[in-house]
Each structure stands twice: as C-alpha cells, then as structure tokens.
C-alpha cells in the first residue's frame, strides 16, 4: 500500500463537509489505490456533531481510510497535512457590512494560514471553499509567506459546472459533450462565465448555441445567480454540488488534464490575461503531471469578454486592498 495522503477539512461538521468527507474517504480525490487520513476541523461547539460524522465514517469501513482526527485545535488539525481544504467561514449575511465580513474572516483565515505554515507538510496545498473564497484564500496566503504562491487555490468549479449544464440544457446535449467553459475572476456575482472559448461536441459553443442575446444576457446572469436560486428553492445553500465541485477540483489538480482541455480554479495571478498580479483570480488551468500546473495561454478574449474580466478582477483587487487596510496585511 502507498503512504496515506493526509487531508484536513475545516467546517467538517457543516453541510458541505458532510457531503464531502465520505467521498474523500472512498477515494474520489486520488484514486482507488491511494489511502487517506482525514483531519476533521471545526469550532469547539461543533465537536459533538463532528464526533457523529466520525461515527458514520467508521461505520462505512472504508478500505482506504487509515485514520480520523476530530479537533478544534489548528495545530493538531493541520499537523503534517498534504492538502488543507478550508470550508468553514463566515459568508456575508443580509445587512452585514463588507468591513465586518473581512474582519471576521480575516481572523479565521490569518489564524489558519499561520497554522498551516507552521504545522503542515512541506508539500501542502491549500484549497479554499468558504466564502468569500478568493479573498479568504488571499488572506490565508498573506499569513503564510513561506508557502509558495502556486500552492493556493480557491473554488470556481461549481460555477464551471453550472455553466456547463446551462449550455448543455440549452442545446439539448449532455453535460459531458460541453468542454472548456472558463470562469474568470471572483466567485461572486461579478464572475464571468465565458462560453466564447467553450466547445459543444468539438464545435465552438457560440456556433452551436447560435443565440448571442441568450449567451450574453441570460446564460451569464443565470450562472452568476445560481447560488441564490438554489437557496430560494431549497432554503439552504448548495451543499452536495459544492462538495462535488470541491472533490472535482482537487482531483483535477492531482491528475493530468486530458489533452486539449482545461478547468477553472482561483490561483495567484502572475499577470496572465492582464489580471492584477498577486490576487487570487479564476483562470483556465492545466496540469501535465498532477503536481505542477500552468495557466493556459492564448485563449481568445474579445471586447465583451475583456470588459467582464476587467470588472470582476477590479472587484478582487478592491477586496484585497480593503483586507490589507482592515487587517494590516
Ligand atoms: P455550514 O454553515 O453548514 O457549515 C460551516 C461549518 O463551518 C460549520 O460546521 C461551522 O461550525 C464551521 N466553522 C465556522 N467557523 C469555523 C472556523 N473558524 N474553523 C473551522 N470551522 C468553522 O456551511 P456550508 O453550507 O457547509 O458552507 C460552508 C462555506 O462554503 C460557506 O462559506 C459557503 O458560503 C461556502 N460555499 C462556497 C462555494 C463556492 O463555490 N466557493 C459554494 C457553496 C458554498
């Protein structure tokens, strides 16, 4: 048997955590021959609930699961972990000022960034799901300066999947027939789901859809507001689909990307496509070896896309500047 990969999940007693940890234990991140250890982290008042999650994990008798730690202590939780999946956070609530949100999450993500830097394995990779995920990732990264910039990720795969389904549904094909939709920028309502670089059964999606008005005025807001639509319908925010997207992102970063394809994930910008350097922004990414990754260069950016990409990145720059000011980072 290979040596286990150690995965920490924060907010593990929450809804996304509950939909995610069983799939990690089953082998959905790294394959059916790769053992895993799970470090489940939540706040102290959630420890009883977390113990219940552990009992259920035990009761699955997963062959690949070698150890479970339940803790609210960050030193114990991040000890020697190879992946830190940060789900627990304080999303914006109605009436909440942006500065209050940044203060609360600043406290959470500076603390977690420092603990990861101090205790995690040398090869640790950090993937932030908890909202606002791009800026939370940026805050944690600022707090862990010795961890290289290419190890930090924020989730936009759920938006990519939402956009893929909308294109498939519109054109009467299956989701698997739609490839290479890119989500640019922030995981927020300014995100830009770009169908101009997507294909449907190998043909340009724009030609197959053949409805520019739908693409620019219906498709984009539907994807941008899908999270709110799920809340309105379900009375709770997306959990199983978010957990699925989180699993798909770690898998995508750990497995060579199929030829001719790419996927969306928030990464630290190096100025690609005119994005401001240093922000955590969603870009089209590939990995050839499942370890290192690179931004896919040379995609076509028309005038419409340019304006949308610039707007969402401006929001990210403003968010990180506010975080800098408020948190003194
Ligand atoms: P939830 O409220 O069900 O669970 C959150 C869990 O995090 C709770 O168990 C809570 O005790 C824990 N928690 C809070 N502060 C913590 C801390 N400092 N350390 C460790 N654990 C902490 O929420 P749910 O539905 O699981 O969502 C989690 C986050 O994921 C939210 O911020 C949500 O907005 C975000 N999200 C992100 C998506 C994306 O596409 N990036 C999609 C959907 C949700």
Question: Is the preceding omega at residue 132 within 30 degrees of 0, hence cis?
Answer: yes
Where in the chain are all domains bearing CATH 3.90.110.10?
157-319
State which ligand 1 atom lies nearest to the alpha carbon of 46: 11
pLDDT in tens, 96-135: 777 788 889 989 999 999 999 999 999 999 999 999 999 9
- Is residue 266 a known part of a binding site? no
Interval between CA 5 and ligand 1 midpoint (Å):
23
Q: What is the pLDDT of residue 94?
A: 74
Given a contact cutoff of 8 angstroms between Cβ atoms, the answer to whether 39 and 115 are in contact is: no
Phi, psi of 43, rounded to the nearest 5 degrees: -80, 160
Instruction: Round to whole Å and give the CA distance between 232 and 171.
Output: 26
Q: How far is CA 116 from the centre of its chain?
A: 18
The helices-and-strands tally (H runs, E runs) of the chain is 12, 14
Contacts of 197 (CB under 8 A, 6+ apart): 180, 181, 182, 284, 299, 300
Instruction: Round to whole Å and give the CA distance between 197 and 305.
Output: 10
- Is residue 162 a known part of a binding site? yes
Q: What is the pLDDT of residue 239?
A: 96
State yes or no: is 161 an active-site residue: no
pLDDT in tens, 163-199: 999 999 999 999 999 999 999 999 999 999 999 999 9
pLDDT in tens, 256-313: 999 999 999 999 999 999 999 999 999 999 999 999 999 999 999 999 999 999 999 9
Please choose, from the candidates 86, 88, 91, 185, the residue with its C-alpha nearest in 3D space to the C-alpha of residue 140. Answer: 86
The alpha-helical segments, DSSP class H, found in the chain are: 15-26, 47-60, 74-77, 98-119, 133-142, 157-171, 205-209, 212-214, 220-224, 226-234, 240-254, 303-327
Given a contact cutoff of 8 angstroms between Cβ atoms, the answer to whether 183 and 191 are in contact is: yes
167 lines ligand 1 (CB under 6 A): no
- Is residue 52 a known part of a binding site? no
DSSP state of 167: H
Please choose, from the candidates 160, 113, 103, 119, the residue with its C-alpha nearest in 3D space to the C-alpha of residue 139. Answer: 113
pLDDT in tens, 319-329: 999 999 888 87
Please tell me which residue in 141, 187, 226, 308 is annotated as part of the active site: 187
Ligand 1, atom 35: closest residue by C-alpha: 130
Where in the chain are all domains bearing CATH 3.40.50.720?
5-154
The class level of CATH for 157-319 reads alpha beta
Q: Does CATH place domain 5-154 in 3.40.50.2000?
A: no
């Amino acid at each position: 048997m290979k040596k286990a990969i150690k995965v920490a999940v924060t907010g593990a007693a929450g809804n996304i955590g509950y939909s995610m940890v069983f799939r990690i234990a089953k082998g959905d991140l790294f394959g059916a021959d790769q053992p895993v250890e799970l470090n489940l982290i939540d706040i102290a008042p959630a420890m009883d609930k977390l113990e219940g999650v552990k009992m259920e994990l035990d009761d699955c008798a997963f062959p690949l699961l070698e150890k479970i730690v339940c803790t609210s202590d960050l030193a114990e939780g991040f000890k020697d972990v190879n992946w830190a999946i940060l789900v627990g956070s304080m999303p914006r609530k109605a009436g909440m000022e942006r500065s209050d949100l940044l203060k609360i999450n600043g406290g959470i993500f500076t603390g977690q960034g420092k603990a990861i830097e101090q205790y995690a394995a040398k090869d640790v990779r950090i993937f932030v799901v908890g909202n606002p995920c791009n800026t939370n990732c940026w805050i944690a990264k600022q707090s862990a300066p010795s961890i290289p910039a290419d190890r930090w990720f924020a989730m936009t795969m759920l938006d990519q999947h939402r956009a893929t389904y909308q294109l498939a549904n519109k054109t009467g094909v299956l989701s698997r027939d739609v490839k290479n939709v890119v989500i640019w920028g922030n995981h927020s309502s300014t995100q830009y789901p770009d169908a101009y670089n997507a294909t449907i059964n190998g043909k340009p999606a724009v030609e197959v859809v053949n409805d520019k008005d739908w693409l620019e005025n219906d498709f984009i807001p539907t994807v941008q507001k899908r999270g709110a639509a799920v809340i309105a319908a379900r009375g709770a925010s997306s959990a199983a689909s978010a957990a699925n997207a989180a699993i798909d992102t770690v898998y995508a970063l750990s497995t060579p990307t199929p030829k001719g394809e790419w996927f969306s994930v928030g990464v630290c910008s190096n100025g690609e496509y005119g994005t401001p350097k240093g922000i955590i922004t969603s870009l089209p990414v590939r990995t050839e070896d499942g370890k290192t990754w690179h931004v896919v260069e040379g995609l076509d950016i028309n005038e419409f896309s340019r304006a949308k990409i610039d707007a969402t990145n401006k929001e990210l720059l403003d968010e990180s500047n506010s975080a800098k000011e408020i948190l003194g980072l």
